[in-house]
Amino acid sequence: MSRPRRHKLWFDNPDNPSMTALYLERYLNYGLTLEELRSDRPIIGIAQTGSDLSPCNRVHLRLAERVREGIRAAGGIAFEFPVHPIQETGRRPTAALDRNLAYLGLVEILHGYPLDGVVLTTGCDKTTPALIMAAATVDLPAIVLSGGPMLDGWYQGRLAGSGTIIWEKRLQLATGEIDYEEFIEAAAASAPSDGYCNTMGTASTMNCLAEALGMSLTGNAAIPAPYRERGQMAYRTGERIVAMVEEDLRPSEILTRQAIENAIVVNSAIGGSTNAQPHIVAIARHAGVPIEPMDWQTVGYDVPLMVNMQPAGSYLSEGFHRAGGLPVVMKALLDHGRLNGEALTVTGRTMAENLAPFPAPDGEVIKPYEAPIKDKAGFIVLKGNLFDAAIMKTSVISEEFRARYLSRPGAENVFEGPVVVFDGSEDYHHRIEDPALGITPETILVIRYAGPVGWPGSAEVVNMQPPAALIERGVSALPCMGDGRQSGTSGSPSILNASPEAAVGGGLGLLKTGDRIRVDLNAGTADALVDAEEWERRRAAFQPVYPASQTPWQELYRATVGQLADGAVMEMAVKYQKVADSPPRD
Ligand code: FES
Ligand code: MG
């Protein structure tokens, strides 16, 4: 159902001629005409995330031209504007600080300017959730256009994936097998073109999940940035958003509980990033959809890993695209009753209708549902005296890890060991090689003060590397636990995103080096084996230690942010919903 164009409140309001004149005149001076601005032609924002600071999204500077042409061809008018940059690899102390800042900025833009709909140009990790979160809060017609992943990287005749090559080569660097220069060269080789990470890291995960949510055209997520189909996808996205405004199809009809469940299921099947947790929870909460920490296990655990892509598998972005990309995965999930096929999407049709034409998996890059890489590949949710909720990504549990820690006779999926505790990553780097720590293959490494408040922003530091002496003995990974996050490109089965974090009084803050921890994946528990009285004594004496804020936003971020299990949103923002329904005053 079409309704009056929102932009007319600015551009055609005879009740307030002087304001209308002011709103209009400056938009005329680069060639738009009075007739078109005052017409019913939809005005479409292009929320531009590309810039020199954001190389992962820089392709959008070029793609926006194709989006504009699509918008024009369909009868709309394009207004491109910048979004606060969020570059995962460049932003210190962490790009996670910028997700809520870009969200906040985009909400203000969408609310305060004469826009009828918006194209969300997504890519690098947090750009995707930031933009969808804002669209959910504002509830204007919105569609996602991914920039697409980079081409496959190659180094010394082998596939070299974003991030995964770093985790692999840093082990060799630690033991002196390669030097600093070779380490840098290998990293550079993994980034051969425009686009975001070519592994199933957080960027590919979140762009796949945007498609799974129904927020992009079918097949959008996997097309590599430099491929010709990417430009055509941009054009069709521009065309489609104009029709969405005519139909008044908004995020509130798409971002339903059904869609959120579809995203959780798809995340397991693709071997998606643990960062999907805070991002999908944040989108759900801004959309007003109820979600619980345990949903990740009840909805997502019992789903097979179908996509053979690093870090859980072998291939990279081009292989995934050639195998048909996400629609092939989703079609198989739908055929096995694992998706809510009736969920409405930006196409104006249901997910099941969108997926109908797609073929069965090729069997190599995308495995059949009934013969997957791994059964039950979702997240396990843990709780105990250390935290109320933390997750473990089971699709990356290696055979070596399973044999060492999870296969003891009589205690399958249970492990226990003494902990070494680090207060932030500087502490870890200073002390990890210290023989006095007495780290053995039984040790559990714990890092705290790495959550939203403690870091601030929450850092990707939980996948800690063992000391070189252990790596030389063949122990390439120890169990890790923390209140921070880890890179979506990491293959570590860490227990992470622990909420509440140490900085706000979570149990990890009470741990001491030498305490023992017991993790029971069957029961879903993780506990410090410290007697209750001693635990309470520590709680009474507890003083959090974390660095002071260095900027105004860090202080504001800390004052408003919630925990990772709750999406690490600005808690005060959740009550603002459908803000486009209350137009700003003149
Ligand atoms: Fe930007 Fe991975 S660093 S997508
Ligand atoms: Mg990252």
Are both 444 and 330 inside the same structural domain?
no
- Residues with CB in 5 Å of ion ligand 2: 88, 460, 487
Are both 214 and 160 inside the same structural domain?
no
Which atom of ligand 1 lies at the shortest distance from residue 488's CA?
2
Q: Are the C-beta atoms of residues 424 and 128 closer than 8 Å to each other?
A: no
Residue 582 lies in a domain: no
Q: Are the C-beta atoms of residues 281 and 565 closer than 8 Å to each other?
A: yes
**Peptide bond before 418: cis, by omega within 30 degrees of 0?**
no
Are both 47 and 140 inside the same structural domain?
yes
Q: Which residues touch 348 (CB under 8 Å, ≥6 apart)? A: 243, 244, 247, 249
Q: pLDDT 10s per residue in the chain (586 long)?
A: 567 899 999 999 999 999 999 999 999 999 899 999 999 999 999 999 999 999 999 999 999 999 999 999 999 999 999 999 999 999 999 999 999 999 999 999 999 999 999 999 999 999 999 999 999 999 999 999 999 999 999 999 999 999 999 999 999 999 899 999 999 999 999 999 999 999 999 999 999 999 999 999 999 999 999 999 999 999 999 999 999 999 999 999 999 999 999 999 999 999 999 999 999 999 999 999 999 999 999 999 999 999 999 999 999 999 999 999 999 999 999 999 999 999 999 999 999 999 999 999 999 999 999 999 999 999 999 999 999 999 999 988 998 899 999 998 989 999 999 999 999 999 999 999 999 999 999 999 999 999 999 999 999 999 999 999 999 999 989 999 999 999 988 888 999 999 999 999 999 999 999 999 999 999 999 999 999 999 999 999 999 999 999 999 999 999 999 999 999 999 999 999 999 999 999 9
Number of domains in the chain: 3
d(C-alpha 162, C-alpha 53), whole Å: 18
Q: Which residues touch 234 (CB under 8 Å, ≥6 apart)? A: 63, 64, 66, 67, 70, 145
Are both 232 and 280 inside the same structural domain?
yes
Are both 105 and 230 inside the same structural domain?
yes
Query: Phi-psi category of 272—alpha, beta or left, where left has phi over 0 and alpha has psi -120 to 50?
Result: beta
Taking the centre of ligand 1 as the mean of its atom positions, its distance from the CA of residue 241, in whole angstroms, is: 26
CA 264 to chain centre: 12
Are both 280 and 348 inside the same structural domain?
yes
Full DSSP string of 255-306: SSHHHHHHHHHHHHHHT--TTHHHHHHHHHHHTT----TTHHHHHHTT--B-
Residue 584 lies in a domain: no
Query: Phi-psi category of 381—alpha, beta or left, where left has phi over 0 and alpha has psi -120 to 50?
Result: beta
Are both 325 and 186 inside the same structural domain?
no
Show the tokens assigned to 235.
């054009």
Q: What pLDDT, on a 0 to 100 scale, did the predictor assign at position 3?
A: 77
Are both 214 and 288 inside the same structural domain?
yes
**Considering 511, 526, 541, which residue would you say is the last residue of a domain?**
541
Which-ligand-closest: CA of 125?
1
> Strand, coil or helix: what is 27?
helix
Residue 366 lies in a domain: no
Q: Are the C-beta atoms of residues 232 and 73 closer than 8 Å to each other?
A: no
Which-ligand-closest: CA of 459?
2
Residue 457 lies in a domain: yes
Are both 180 and 196 inside the same structural domain?
no
Taking the centre of ligand 1 as the mean of its atom positions, its distance from the CA of residue 99, in whole angstroms, is: 14
Site to substitute for ligand 1 among 88, 151, 198, 279, most atoms within 8 A of C-beta:
88
CA atoms 409, 411, 414, 418: torsion sign: negative
Residue 571 lies in a domain: no
Strands 117-122 and 142-146: parallel
CATH number at residue 66: 3.40.50.2300
Residue type, 114: P
Residue 409 lies in a domain: yes
Taking the centre of ligand 1 as the mean of its atom positions, its distance from the CA of residue 454, in whole angstroms, is: 23
Range of the domain at 157: 153-191
Residue 77 lies in a domain: yes
Which of these, 214, 206, 195, lies nearest to 60 by C-alpha position? 195
Are both 127 and 63 inside the same structural domain?
yes
Show the tokens assigned to 542.
């507890």
Taking the centre of ligand 1 as the mean of its atom positions, its distance from the CA of residue 139, in whole angstroms, is: 27
Are both 184 and 71 inside the same structural domain?
no
d(C-alpha 134, C-alpha 545), whole Å: 33
Is the ipTM value over 0.90, yes or no? yes
Which atom of ligand 1 lies at the shortest distance from residue 123's CA?
4
Full DSSP string of 379-442: EEEEBSSS-SEEEEEGGG--HHHIIIIIEETTEETEEEEEEEEEEHHHHHHHHTT-GGG---TT
> Which H or E run contains 44?
strand 43-48
Are both 253 and 278 inside the same structural domain?
yes
Q: What pLDDT, on a 0 to 100 scale, did the predictor assign at position 207?
A: 98
> Which H or E run contains 499?
strand 495-499
Q: What pLDDT, on a 0 to 100 scale, did the predictor assign at position 2?
A: 65
Q: Which residues form ligand 1's pocket by a CB distance below 6 Å?
A: 56, 88-89, 124-125, 162, 196-197, 201, 203
Taking the centre of ligand 2 as the mean of its atom positions, its distance from the CA of residue 488, in whole angstroms, is: 6
Q: Are the C-beta atoms of residues 101 and 269 closer than 8 Å to each other?
A: no
CATH number at residue 497: 3.50.30.80
Residue 581 lies in a domain: no
